[in-house]
Amino acid sequence: MGFKMGIVGLPNVGKSTLFNALTRTAAAQAANFPFCTIEPNVGEVAVPDARLEKLAAIASSKQIIPTRMTFVDIAGLVRGASKGEGLGNQFLANIRECDAIAHVLRCFEDGDITHVEGRIDPVADAETIETELMLADMESIERRLVALGKKLRGGDQETLDQDRLLRAALTVLNEGKPARTVVVVEDDRRTWRLLQLLTSKPVLYVCYVEESCAANGNSQSARVAEMAAKQGAASVVISAKIEEEISQLANDEAEMFLSEMGLEEAGLDRLISAGYKLLGLQTYFTIGPKEARAWTIPAKTLAPQAAGVIHGDFEKGFIRAETIGYDDYIAGNGETGAKEAGKFRVEGKTYEVKDGDVLHFLFNA
């Protein structure tokens, strides 16, 4: 399964710098002028998870394969993007294809780096982007409602559901609130996702601060954190300079550098983990002498669908899942010890996979 997070924000706030550090490459051009990113850059990053290495050590696995997330570097939006200003239409379409949004906000002063609005106000910047996305959603919904109107007479349930959910979204948007504030019941979730509304996507605010504030943030990032809390969103504080330094170092050198800076982990690791949680994802493991591997699934995924992440045939021919919880695997020092302790379970098609489960699937070919 692929999970995409789009990196958005106003021009010159550091989106491409973030992308470069995330992917440990220089694939995205970082420059001090608007629209230096003309096409979205796509990169995959490993999701940090200390559990995987511990499991691999116990099983003497020859290879360690972490689960991954995809980040999309999307060019800077400006005021009027919903009407096509800048390169708005193209970039709004790129955002629509993502599962969540990492909204980069400039929370530092630097006279050498221009700001498209001529001032430093991350909360106002966030509101500018949110407003453009809301306006784009409203325009999209109004067009779609007209198109659906011709089909409603047929009484097709899917059409009726789309019409109802679009109208619910338009109601909150007209109240100045994003579509993600609509309460969606479980039976409507699939249809809701297919609507691909820009403001229905979860948001993670990324606060860029000066190097000296990397550990605790500053007054501007504190304002963003307060805004995020009110929205039920998340925020992460990052120093672009520190992350650029780390991205060029080997792992042991990076750890030493972080220690010298008084940081327990890289801001990017916090960002990736926060994004993972934001999307409601969890991890299960397959462990053996050949490889130790992490797999990404949404929370509450049933065993057959979890097996299908490995291969579609696993889901189609699913028989059962042999299961050991992570803590039980560690306590038993492996599968044999877990079995002797009575912690080995056989689960069927209705089993809801738990975060950290060590699984082995049996299936009919």
pLDDT digits (tens, 9 = 90+) for 285-335: 999 999 999 999 999 999 999 999 999 999 999 999 999 999 999 999 999
What does the block give as tokens for 277? 């949680």
Looking at the structure, tell me whether residues 218 and 117 fall in a common domain.
yes
Inform me whether the pLDDT recorded for 35 exceeds 60: no
* Confidence at residue 328, expressed as pLDDT on a 0 to 100 scale: 97
Give the percent of the chain with pLDDT over 70: 87
The C-alpha atoms of residue 57 and residue 161 are separated, in whole angstroms, by 50
pLDDT band for position 86 (50/70/90)? very low
Looking at the structure, tell me whether residues 117 and 214 fall in a common domain.
yes
pLDDT band for position 243 (50/70/90)? confident
- Residue in 37, 3, 347, 335 with CA at minimum distance from that of residue 202: 3
pLDDT digits (tens, 9 = 90+) for 126-174: 998 898 889 989 999 999 999 888 787 777 888 899 999 999 999 999 9
Looking at the structure, tell me whether residues 263 and 304 fall in a common domain.
no
Inform me whether the pLDDT recorded for 73 exceeds 60: yes
**Does residue 291 belong to any structural domain of this protein?**
no
- Residue in 187, 217, 223, 11 with CA at minimum distance from that of residue 104: 11
Looking at the structure, tell me whether residues 346 and 239 fall in a common domain.
no
pLDDT digits (tens, 9 = 90+) for 88-111: 456 677 888 888 999 999 898 765
Quote the domain boundaries for residue 318: 300-363
359 class by beta-carbon count within 10 Å (0-12 exposed, 13-18 middle, 19+ buried): buried
Looking at the structure, tell me whether residues 103 and 243 fall in a common domain.
yes
* Confidence at residue 53, expressed as pLDDT on a 0 to 100 scale: 93
- The DSSP code sequence of 294-329 is EEEEETT-BHHHHHHHH-HHHHHTEEEEEEE-HHHH
- Residue in 147, 106, 81 with CA at minimum distance from that of residue 13: 106
pLDDT band for position 120 (50/70/90)? confident
Looking at the structure, tell me whether residues 229 and 311 fall in a common domain.
no
CATH number of domain containing 304: 3.10.20.30
**Does residue 344 belong to any structural domain of this protein?**
yes
pLDDT band for position 85 (50/70/90)? very low
**Does residue 81 belong to any structural domain of this protein?**
yes
What does the block give as tokens for 206? 């990324």
Whether this prediction's pTM lies above 0.85 is answered by no
Overall size of the chain counted in residues: 365
Domains identified in the chain, total number: 2
pLDDT digits (tens, 9 = 90+) for 202-214: 999 999 998 888 8
